[in-house]
Structure 1
Amino acid sequence: MRLRDELCLIRRDHFHRKFNPNQPRVPSGNAGGGQWTSGTGGGGGSGGGDPISPDGTSLNTDTGWSSLGEGWNEDGSVFEQAVTDGAGTTIQSEYAASRAAGFDERQTVTFPDGEKASFETTDKVQSIYHGGPDGDLVARTIWTPSGPESDATIQPAFARRGLSTIFGGAAALFNWQSPLNGSDGQQAVMGFNARDYRPGDSTSGKLDLSYMGRITQEEAELACRRLPDAQELADRAANAAGSPDLYPSRAVYGTDVHTRFAQYVRDLHDINFQAERSYLKERFEGVNSGEVPYGYPRSTRVDAYEYRQGGTLCVYDLKTGRTDLSDRRAEILANAIRMGFTSIQRIIVIQVRPRG
């Protein structure tokens, strides 16, 4: 606990050096009202600030997210940061200076219709709420060396509409946090815990979203041992493909990188590390839920996966452009690959982008 508090203090000092006490706030009545603002994006801003990363620093690449502002709360115990995608979705992050706040960090995603999802983390435990931090507790999970493990004593209480909000909030966080993967010693991960299939389950009902946040590189590699290989092969594929400017479109370039990446994975001849496998999105009577031919109707392709003894399945989602992972795509990926195996307890989705 002492080491964790020291890390919180270091983070507090980092933010304190960036804080401007004269920084204006977004006027009330606007999206993000009362929050600190850079003053360049107007009330609620739609991209006037610099692209912002999860550690509070500006990014050189276009992440699609812009800063609404940042600053300390009134008693100085929590540093607050707000970003927007310019389309009405905001992420409000709170970073505690010490454990006295009751949490280490908390991200609240607010959608244009006012729906909210909060992801609150303390040490290795994460609690997910529908309706914001004071809303309904949806899940509580501890991150273990094998991945997320759900607290079986928690009985989720939220409507079907809430499930969509939680998935959407997780996808928004994943897309904001993932571009920084590896560069700051952390990885953004989306974790799911599998439940046994029950007749009548919808696609969403077969799997529980259990974790969305950033873990250390060491923790990620302990749970997903092939992560360094997936990153190295993605870099190698991009280098072999050459500049995107050599291709008629970004889509053609992306296809070439994906093809090379898949071949490099196959060249390893590891039955537990596979690439470009297709799986059914949903169960159909008389159809094998395992691998189906590429392009099979109502199937989806997984860029790469790693199966770990003990029931952990790591999904590596290769990205070569700016396209985000939608909440529906994340749900389909996890569910489809889950149905292709019989002994999966948890699924971890990690985004892999070529470096350089």
Structure 2
Amino acid sequence: MSMTNTSEDQALRKLRARHAALDVDIKLLRLRLKAGFNPSQPRVPAGDPDGGQWTDGGGGAGRSRPNRNPGGVGTPPIKTPGRDAAVGVAPARVATRAGPRHSPANPHVRHTVTLAGGRRFVFQTEGATQTVTDGAGNPVSKTVWTPTGPMSLPVIQRVNAPVARQAFEAGRQLYNHLSVGNTRDQKACLAFTAKEFRPNGSLLTPLSFVGILSRAETEKVCTKLELVQRLSDEAMQEARLAGPYSSATVFGTAVHSRLHNKIVALNDPTLRSEQSLLKRIEETVIDFSAVRVDVLEDRDVGPICVYDLKTGRRGLSRSRAIEFARRLAYLGRPIVIIEVRPYE
């Protein structure tokens, strides 16, 4: 194949991915406006850290809050926080068991995720290797986390598409569960590879890895994590000084806009700030002046790192994960998502 044909091929795949992503945005907006969005649903007051987000009724009382101690050794199964319930997805139950040799630097831990329908998946991490099995013990995936990112290992049998989708959903909910315990020294990450579109328009998103990594391990793959965290902290501090704000939505826009401007000012070809229509819909009242951005690190080799900036309590929704997949599928490389929350 000639270089010209290869370039045209890549351009066509890129255009198709962007078109598909825009189509998803439009469909989601229509659904939320027609059915999924209720403007009279109670929201948390603006002064609350969750201000502006939907509640499960009764004002601010009785709503789900994240568990800031995600699954310690020997803890009973707990539901993932209201991060999923807030976007219409039933939360999973996560049970965690750590082995006697377990430590943050050398993990030996098993997370059992039970989805709302009762389907279970087990995420067994031994050092740098993670094996995912279904409830019957059948292998779904096996991955080694390396200094260049996740490396998939062959498994005995290939899982079918429905099981793969359920495993991805279990991984997403486990990622949200683990992200609650993020600190400056350790981060939860979700890694997967978005495959090309099938003839019917669906997208394959095989799960690669979900777990807690040390800052050193993470920064070998996502080299701009510390920089993005620092800029996010600065954006938060500057936004607070410029307040007060009429609502949490306006404050969130101030933080996101400042981070966007900082990324643009860097003029770093490996970093870019992208606005997300879906993120704006999920995290704000219908307010088209609101800004919600993600920061992407792409060094043309290895994984694409997505720094998912959060200023509220909402986690990564299934729709948002698929949005990343559709936008980046044309690159054909692993996608690593890391939640970034500004520290006060």
Trace 1:114-129 onto structure 2 (pairs within 5 A).
114-129=118-133
User: 1:323 offset after TM fit, Å?
Assistant: 1.4
CA distance in 2, matches of 1:164, 1:50: 25
Trace 1:175-186 onto structure 2 (pairs within 5 A).
175-183=176-184, 185-186=185-186
Q: Is residue 2:70 matched to residue 1:54?
A: yes
Specify the code of the residue in structure 2 equivalent to 1:84.
Answer: K
The two structures, once aligned, show a CA RMSD in angstroms of: 3.1
Q: 1:327 to 1:223 in 2, by over 3 A?
A: same
CA distance in 2, matches of 1:187, 1:85: 17
Specify the code of the residue in structure 1 equivalent to 2:343.
Answer: R
- Aligned match of 1:234: 232
Q: 1:152 to 1:353 in 2, by over 3 A?
A: same
Specify the code of the residue in structure 2 equivalent to 1:253.
Answer: F
- Aligned match of 1:204: 203
Q: 1:153 to 1:166 in 2, by over 3 A?
A: closer
Specify the code of the residue in structure 1 equivalent to 2:78.
Answer: V
CA distance in 1, matches of 2:311, 2:64: 26
Check whether the contact 1:187–1:216 (CA below 8 A) recurs between aligned residues.
yes
Check whether the contact 1:238–1:354 (CA below 8 A) recurs between aligned residues.
yes
- Aligned match of 1:289: none
Check whether the contact 1:53–1:176 (CA below 8 A) recurs between aligned residues.
no
- Aligned match of 2:115: 111
Q: Is residue 2:303 matched to residue 1:312?
A: yes
Check whether the contact 1:96–1:105 (CA below 8 A) recurs between aligned residues.
yes
Trace 1:10-49 onto structure 2 (pairs within 5 A).
none
Q: Is residue 2:143 matched to residue 1:141?
A: yes
User: 1:80 offset after TM fit, Å?
Assistant: 4.6
Check whether the contact 1:121–1:127 (CA below 8 A) recurs between aligned residues.
yes
Aligned to 1:252, what secondary structure does the other structure show? helix
Q: 1:186 to 1:91 in 2, by over 3 A?
A: same
List gaps (5 residues or longer) in structure 1: 1-45, 57-69, 71-78, 281-294, 296-300
Check whether the contact 1:140–1:150 (CA below 8 A) recurs between aligned residues.
yes
Q: Is residue 2:337 matched to residue 1:346?
A: no
User: 1:82 offset after TM fit, Å?
Assistant: 2.6
What is the CA deviation profile of residues 121-178 of structure 1, one whole-angstrom value per residue up to 9, with x for unaligned ones? 1111111123x3x333111111011111111355422451x23322221221111211
- Aligned match of 2:327: 336
Q: Is residue 2:93 matched to residue 1:93?
A: no
The alignment's TM-score, normalised by the length of structure 1, stands at 0.65
Aligned to 1:260, what secondary structure does the other structure show? helix
- Aligned match of 2:312: 321
Aligned to 1:351, what secondary structure does the other structure show? strand
Q: Percent identity?
A: 32
Trace 1:273-292 onto structure 2 (pairs within 5 A).
273-276=271-274
CA distance in 2, matches of 1:82, 1:355: 29
Specify the code of the residue in structure 2 equivalent to 1:276.
Answer: E
Check whether the contact 1:148–1:193 (CA below 8 A) recurs between aligned residues.
no
CA distance in 2, matches of 1:50, 1:320: 14
Aligned to 2:311, what secondary structure does the other structure show? coil
Q: 1:201 to 1:124 in 2, by over 3 A?
A: farther
Aligned to 1:181, what secondary structure does the other structure show? coil
Check whether the contact 2:66–2:80 (CA below 8 A) recurs between aligned residues.
no
Trace 1:231-270 onto structure 2 (pairs within 5 A).
231-242=229-240, 246-270=244-268
User: 1:259 offset after TM fit, Å?
Assistant: 0.8
Which structure carries more strand by proportion?
1
Aligned to 2:342, what secondary structure does the other structure show? coil
Count of residue pairs the alignment pairs up:
259
Check whether the contact 1:145–1:219 (CA below 8 A) recurs between aligned residues.
yes
CA distance in 1, matches of 2:158, 2:138: 8
List gaps (5 residues or longer) in structure 2: 1-61, 82-89, 279-287
Which structure carries more helix by proportion?
2
Aligned to 2:206, what secondary structure does the other structure show? strand
What is the CA deviation profile of residues 226-266 of structure 1, one whole-angstrom value per residue up to 9, with x for unaligned ones? 00011011101111110797222212211111111111011
The alignment's TM-score, normalised by the length of structure 2, stands at 0.67
CA distance in 2, matches of 1:48, 1:252: 23
Trace 1:210-225 onto structure 2 (pairs within 5 A).
210-225=208-223
- 4+ runs of 1 displaced by more than 6 Å? 46-50
Specify the code of the residue in structure 1 equivalent to 2:336.
Answer: I
Q: 1:309 to 1:279 in 2, by over 3 A?
A: farther
CA distance in 1, matches of 2:302, 2:64: 45
Check whether the contact 1:129–1:137 (CA below 8 A) recurs between aligned residues.
yes
Specify the code of the residue in structure 2 equivalent to 1:315.
Answer: V
Specify the code of the residue in structure 2 equivalent to 1:90.
Answer: R
Aligned to 1:204, what secondary structure does the other structure show? coil
- Aligned match of 1:191: 191
Check whether the contact 1:170–1:327 (CA below 8 A) recurs between aligned residues.
no
Aligned to 1:267, what secondary structure does the other structure show? helix
Check whether the contact 1:140–1:154 (CA below 8 A) recurs between aligned residues.
no
CA distance in 2, matches of 1:191, 1:50: 22
Out of 79, 86, 91, which is 1:84 matched to? 79
Check whether the contact 1:80–1:95 (CA below 8 A) recurs between aligned residues.
no
Check whether the contact 2:123–2:131 (CA below 8 A) recurs between aligned residues.
yes
